[in-house]
Amino acid sequence: MYVMKTATAPLTSSAPAPLWARHAAHAIALCAVPSGLWRIGMASGVYVGYSDQVLRDIFDIPGWGIAYVVGLSVLAELAALFPMLLVSDRWRPLRPRALAALAWTASGVLVLMALWQLVVAVTVESQTYMSSGTAKTVWGFAFAPLFAIPVLMTAVTWSYTRRHRARGLA
């Protein structure tokens, strides 16, 4: 008799995620909050270091730029919640092997994006729109936690893969 398993069918349980992996997954979600709040502040008219002309000409704020900036913040926070699937024992939308492959892909993309953002951050062109040193400092504090995400994501993914490989599921 052939039994077909679906993504929603209960799978063989694996060892629970270690406490450090759970903390790392929660930290990823928290790392995205400061930059999201900074963007939402920018969209709502709070001075973040850009002149009104730069906001209008470059970011189209007020205008469709508000929806873009707020949408980007929401999307970033939703993406930052993905690692919670890797430490959850309750809900698994994909089979462990597929989820592990997706998580490793996400980890690789995050590392590449962090390296790219580091290159962009140190170029002269990326710093020309900020009007003061204080604004740059606030911007730096708001976006610095994002550089922890690739490391934390890789650690959580490694933990997930290790736990599921130990049971022969991944």
Q: What is the DSSP string of 37-98?
A: HHHHHHHTT---S--HHHHHHTT-TTTHHHHHHHHHHHHHHHHHTTHHHHH-SS--SS-HHH
Per the CB < 8 A criterion, the answer to whether 146 and 35 are in contact is yes
Dihedral angle at the C-alpha atoms of 29, 34, 37, 38, nearest 10 degrees? -140
**14 vs 133 pLDDT, higher one:** 133
Judged against a pLDDT cut of 70, whether residue 94 lies above it is answered with no
pTM: 0.76
Average pLDDT estimate for 53-77: 90
Judged against a pLDDT cut of 50, whether residue 6 lies above it is answered with no
Lowest mean pLDDT of 2-11, 31-40, 136-145, name the range.
Answer: 2-11
